[in-house]
Amino acid sequence: MFSSRTRSLLLLTLSALVCVVGVTTLSAQDSRATVNPTRSITDYAGVAPGNGNAPPRTGVIQRARSGSAQVITWPGFQMRPDGGSRFFLQVSASPEASASASEGRVEILLKNVRTHARNTRRPLVTEFFNTPVKSAKLHRRGRRDLAFVLQMRDNVTPNVTVQADGEFFFLFIDFPRGSWAPSPPTSGSAATTTRAPAPSAAPANSSASVRPAAAAAPAPAPAPRQIVREPTPTPTSGPRQMSREEMNALDNERPPGM
């Protein structure tokens, strides 16, 4: 039916088609996106004590554990069920920490630690929560130490503890319950105008004398209004009677024959 050369060409063509179809199928399979299970907007994907979420860049953390440096893997804040507030630091090993306080400031110094992600060094702004802390941020202290600095709006002494959680440790900075959050404006309240308070009289035994206010000068009486009247037109007289002499002169000026 077919010559040997024709059969060879047909076999080569079929082999090429099979190869093209196989490569296309593999490319389509590789290009498929992997869709992770959806997460509710109320689910917290970050690290918190007891939630089991892993911090980012775990490979860097494992390499750091092989050396002598510790890594602060996550700073966080949460309100407690009893109304208090808590700041926490997740650390790759048990930290060596000391606390100090000054006016408007609490500082937690951690020895021989570093961070492994840029987000770890961003501030935690908490001024709108019911906590005595306005904000907290990690700052470098020398080459090997870090300080967790809390800016305070009230002088409150925190309770600092360390607790193990699996392969990590948490440093807790706890504050008691209080009233520090700013009061939100009530909806539908009418705007009020603040008036300056009226000056109060001096006490009876005060040596200061109170002078009566000077009477205001009377306003000048308004000038009388002038009424401008138009002049009354004088009636014009009737036609003037000509005298006899004027009539004779007029007759003399008539042309002859009249």
What structural domains and CATH numbers belong to the chain? 58-175 (2.60.40.3500)
Residue 210's pLDDT is: 37
The pTM assigned to this predicted structure is: 0.56
**Residue 226 Cα distances to 221, 222, 223, 229, angstroms:** 15, 12, 9, 9
pLDDT at residue 54 in the model:
79
3-class DSSP assignment, residue 65: helix
Which is higher by pLDDT, 169 or 231? 169
Least confident of 100-104, 153-157, 178-182: 178-182
Q: How far apart are CA 255 and CA 88, in angstroms?
A: 139
Residue 219 pLDDT: 61
Q: What is the mean predicted confidence (pLDDT) over 210-227?
A: 54
Q: Which of 15, 23, 158 is nearest to 99 (CA)?
A: 158
Q: Measured between alpha carbons, how far is 146 from 89 in angstroms, rounded to an integer?
A: 12
How far apart, in whole angstroms, are the C-alpha atoms of residue 135 and residue 87? 10
Q: Which of helix, strand or coil describes residue 2?
A: coil
138 or 202, higher pLDDT: 138
Could you count the other beta carbons within 10 Å of the beta carbon of residue 154?
13
pLDDT, residue 205, reads 43
Note the maximum CA span of the chain: 165
Tell me the HSE value of 120 on the side-chain side, using a 13 A CA sphere. Answer: 22
What is the C-alpha to C-alpha distance for residues 38 and 36, in angstroms, rounded to an integer? 6
**Percentage, residues of the chain above pLDDT 70:** 57
Q: How far is it, in rounded angstroms, from Cα 47 to Cα 36?
A: 19
Asked whether the predicted pLDDT for residue 213 surpasses 50, the reply is no
Q: What is the average per-residue pLDDT within 163-180?
A: 93
Q: Mean pLDDT across the stretch 146-159?
A: 95
Taking 90 as the threshold, does the pLDDT of residue 139 lie above it?
yes
Give me the mean pLDDT over the 205-224 stretch.
50
In residues, how long is the chain? 258
pLDDT of residue 251: 67
DSSP assigned state of 212: P
Mean pLDDT of 175-202: 61
3-state secondary structure 123-187: CEECCCCCCCEEEEEEEEECCCEEEEEEEECCCCCCEEEEEEECCEEEEEEEECCCCCCCCCCCC
Strands, sheet with 70-79, edge to edge from the N-terminal-most edge strand: 113-115, 70-79, 85-91, 168-175, 159-165
User: Token pair for residue 242?
Assistant: 């000509």
Top pLDDT among 235 and 104 is at: 104
206 pLDDT above the threshold of 60: no
Q: At 204, is the pLDDT very low, low, confident or very high (cuts 50, 70, 90)?
A: very low
Closest C-alpha to 85, from 29, 150, 25, 142: 150
Q: Is the pLDDT of residue 61 over 70?
A: yes
Q: How confident is the model at residue 84 (pLDDT cuts 50, 70, 90)?
A: very high
Which strand ranges, in their side-by-side order, compose the sheet holding 105-110?
97-102, 105-110, 145-152, 133-141, 124-125
